[in-house]
Structure 1
């Protein structure tokens, strides 16, 4: 399954970075970005901002899926995000998957891991708090 089945998961910003849905695990999207020159930091490595953007996008995609399963739509606004860079991400496919640790009425807490060739050796992790502004029902 790819992002064509869920076209609303990724923002225009995410698509401009080359982020795409690689697949789904436990009904949560796994995102991928390839090593394109536009997001290069030091030679042959991802820019930290691109890695952070991938992880933030993974958090939003997981939340959108969870809300969609409940038949809800909402605006998601970041409260904060803390990224830990664990190892340099090389210019090769970089994956990210989020896990929702709390989905409340007004906020959510999400953890994210990003990895490359070995999932057991993450390149970065993040914790994100998101404000949820649900759409008013008519």
Structure 2
């Protein structure tokens, strides 16, 4: 059985220990992916508010960007842009070039959701925008833009 987009996303979340510690999940509805950050007390950075730690927010947004990029790259009509590792268990993953986050308001002590949109997908470079919200999608608490170096086939 070959690699499917779903198995690669599951593998990506299992492969990175920090994703597991955060508790990140992916909800797929049709062709839309929503990355979910279930609330847990350990994610609080400011207990006085309480508010999500800024590093948690950043990691969550970068995770959502990677999930969307991998999903899109594997489903690309040109055959995908992710070369498979030698052991054939996972494709080689994009590497972050830069990631810019706009913290729009405090992330509160509740579940958070994010969706990414691949703006550009090329053989060497990709750009992804991400929006994160909690109870109301029109009231974002953070947004980000990431640029990624796409993996190249090994010779």
TM-score, scaled to structure 1 = 0.87
Q: What runs of 5+ residues in structure 2 fail to find an aligned partner?
A: 1-5, 83-90
Mapped to 2, the partners of 1:130 and 1:123 lie a distance apart of 23
Quote how far apart the aligned CAs of 1:122 are: 0.3
Mapped to 1, the partners of 2:30 and 2:55 lie a distance apart of 27
Between structures 1 and 2, the one with greater strand share: 1
Equivalent pairs counted in the alignment come to 134
Quote how far apart the aligned CAs of 1:76 are: 1.1
The alignment status of 1:8 with 2:11, answered yes or no, reads yes
Tell me how large the CA RMSD over aligned residues is: 2.0
Closer, same or farther: CA 109–6 of 1 in aligned 2, 3 Å: closer
Moved more, 4-13 or 110-119: 4-13
In the other structure, the counterpart of 1:59 is 65
The alignment status of 1:41 with 2:45, answered yes or no, reads yes
TM-score, scaled to structure 2 = 0.78
Q: What runs of 5+ residues in structure 1 fail to find an aligned partner?
A: none
Quote how far apart the aligned CAs of 1:25 are: 4.9
**Which structure's CA Rg is the greater one?**
2
